[in-house]
Each structure stands twice: as C-alpha cells, then as structure tokens.
Amino acid sequence: MKKLIILTLSIFLFSCSKKQESQEEQFETNTAKDQITLNDAQIKSAGIEIGTLGNEEISEKITLNGMVDVPPQNLASVSAPSGGYVKYTKFMPGMHVNKGETLAILEDPQIVQLQQDYLLAKSNLSYARKDYTRQNDLNKSKAASDKVTQQAQTEAQNQNILMRGMAEKLRAMGINPENLNAGNIRRSISVSSPVSGYISNVNVKIGQYVSPTDKLFDVVNTDDVHLALTVFEKDLNRISVGQRVFAYTNQNPEKKYAANIILIGKDFQPDKSVVIHCYFIDYDKNLIPGTYMNAEVETNSETGNTVPDDAIVTWEGKQYIFQEVKPKTYKMVEIKIGNSENGRTEIFNIDQNLKNKKFVTKGAYALLMGLKNVEE
C-alpha cells in the first residue's frame, strides 16, 4: 500500500521524463519539523500557488430544512353546490385550470325541481302581492276586515322570502334566476374552479353520485408560494424578519434560491421547533409545493483571517495550512477553522507573527501527500 501511495505521488507531482527523474531525487523532507522542500519542476507539476492571509467579513450561517408551501388562501377545495351525478369531467392531477373554468357537470332531478319551485314561488308572489293590494284597498273602504288584510300581507311576505331563498340557491349553482323561465329550465349544473392554478387531487369519476359535502377537486394557485422552514429553539434568537435565506434542493445543491423571512411562528411544535415562512425573491415554477429543501440563513458577520478552501488540508482529524518558511520550502501549521463563504474559510489559532507570512493557497494536498508518505 505504501509503495502504491508513493508511486501515485510521483505521478501527481512529477513528470516521467529522465530529466525530472533526476530532479525527483532532490525531493527533501524534514519530518521532525513537518517541512517539505520541492524543486522548480515539482512546484510546477503540483500547481503550487502562494498567497497571504486574507482579512474578510465572513457571515455565520444556520442550516435549516423545510419544504415549498402554499398559503391557505391559495388552496381551494372544490365541492358541488348541490347533489348530482357526474356526467362530465376531463381533468387529471397536474393539469392547469383557469379561474371559472368548468371542472365537472352534474345532473340530478332535484336541480330541475328547484327551478320549478322558484318559478312557482315567483308566480305565487305576484298573486300574493296583487291580493294584498286588493285587500288593502277594500280595507280602506271598510269592505274587508283588518285580519284579512294582514293575512294577505303576511302571505305576500312569506312568498317573497321563499322566492328569494330559492334565488340564492340557484345563484350558488350558477343559474341566474332573473333569466329563468319555463322555457329554459336546465337539468345540469357546472362545477367551476374558484382559482387559477393546477389540480392536485381528483376525487370523482363519471357516473358517481356526489353530495355538497364531498370534496371533488383540490386546486393549488402557485402565484404566491412560500418556503416553510423549521427552526429549533436554540437558533430562534438568531432569526428575524427580513433576513436573507438561500435555499437549495438535495438534487441540485449548487443552485441557490434567494428568499426573505416574512413571518416567524409564535408557537412551538412538540419537538420544540417553530415554523418560519420565507418569500422567494424570484420564484422558480419548477419548485412545486411539497418539494423538500435545505436553506442557509446568514446571521452575524465577523471580520477575520481567511484562506481559500483549497489551502486547508485535513490530517488525522485536524486541519492544517502550509507556510512558506523559505523559497520552495513549506511547513505544516495547525489551525482551527470557522465559517466558510464564497470559497474562503475563516481560520483561528494563527500566531500574530505569521499573519504577514506567505502560505500555500493551491496544491496543499500534494504537499501533504509528499510529506506524510515519506514519513511512513
């Protein structure tokens, strides 16, 4: 195994020409001081680059998870205003519908009966009003008693109430009572979508009898989609309305979706978490409700010493960077790492005397392989 690692290092650091083979023999290490020395060809082959520590602002981040959600006002459960048999429907989950578009057509004798009852009530109201007018005129001339006049008035009022109630039932079914007459009585009614969006559930089929309490369709309006994230109690004091959130899916973690926190829940779930709601700045319609997402929330920002991510190597559970102690000679320096942002990582435990020194910013793992393989 040891021979294999050394061979790999030789291939990675040095070319296979005879001239470079002689240069490989000049490869020097000092294991006691964790130092390694390379020649010019080895430095070029390993892609070693040198730089100094940066002093940059790094934001502390909280990682959360949740899902794409739709507020209640954008969810619609569609039911029938009256019972009936389903005579027509063509929709399946995932299909788009517009507000007012017909989702299903129902037929039932009760629909016809209600229209008949309305027309009869309308006719009776007309007769009752005329009768009240006649009885009232007779009462003024003392030809009719007050009791008969009051009965006529009550009958007219009752017929008016009955007709108005039936008219509202017809409107709920989508039938305009003002245009209804004996020649245009319908036996079917339409069930329409109350919002524009896509259908998420279909619970009916042709020939099925449905009642007003049955849920026929679920329609989701994606014009106003939120990101609902779970925040645990220990992180809650670091969250505030207006903070920027960068969300991503497990399938494509490189693509970030920016959002702002707009609402923080006021009650704890059984696991001592709170749900926060975020509004996507530029919503991607490919993110359908229910999509699981991770998110990073930027909290406090601090200025500190930073290096490129490629400058940091890990060995036996610890992190190191390589200091250039003299030209072509590099020494491992143990560090502690902090937050990372935009390809740079905050580092700690750096001696004040080293802050102005030069460090390897690229090719650090090649040095680690060379140094530790020789030690073995």
Q: Which pLDDT tens digit goes with each residue over 40-74?
A: 888 888 899 998 888 777 667 788 999 999 888 88
Residue 80 reports pLDDT greater than 70: yes
* Residue 359 main-chain phi, psi, to 5 deg: -135, 160
Alpha-carbon distance values, 155 to 116, 144, 166 (Å):
20, 16, 17
What is the dotted CATH code of the domain comprising 77-220? 2.40.50.100
**Cα separation, 161 vs 275, whole angstroms:** 49
Could you tell me which residue, 295 or 354, shows the higher pLDDT?
A: 295
Find residue 336's DSSP bridge partners: 348
pTM comes to: 0.55
Mean pLDDT of 271-281: 91
CATH 3.40.1260.10 fits 62-72+222-301, yes or no: no
Mean pLDDT of 104-115: 90
Class of domain 2-56+302-375: mainly beta
**Cα separation, 112 vs 120, whole angstroms:** 12
The pLDDT score that the predictor gives to residue 93 is 92
**Cα separation, 263 vs 240, whole angstroms:** 9
Q: Which of 36, 63, 35, 52 is nearest to 344 (CA)?
A: 52
The pLDDT score that the predictor gives to residue 219 is 94
If you count them, how many residues does the chain have?
376
Domain range annotation of the chain: 2-56+302-375, 62-72+222-301, 77-220
For β-strands 84-88 and 215-220, DSSP reports them as unpaired
Mean pLDDT, all residues of the chain = 83
Tell me if residue 274 falls in helix, strand or coil.
strand
**Cα separation, 306 vs 50, whole angstroms:** 14
Q: Are 321 and 360 in contact (CB under 8 A)?
A: yes
Instruction: Characterise 71 by phi-psi region: left (phi > 0), alpha (psi -120 to 50), beta (else).
Output: beta
Exposure letters 269-300 (e unless 16+ CB within 10 A, then b): eeeebbbbbbebeebeeebebebebebbbbbe
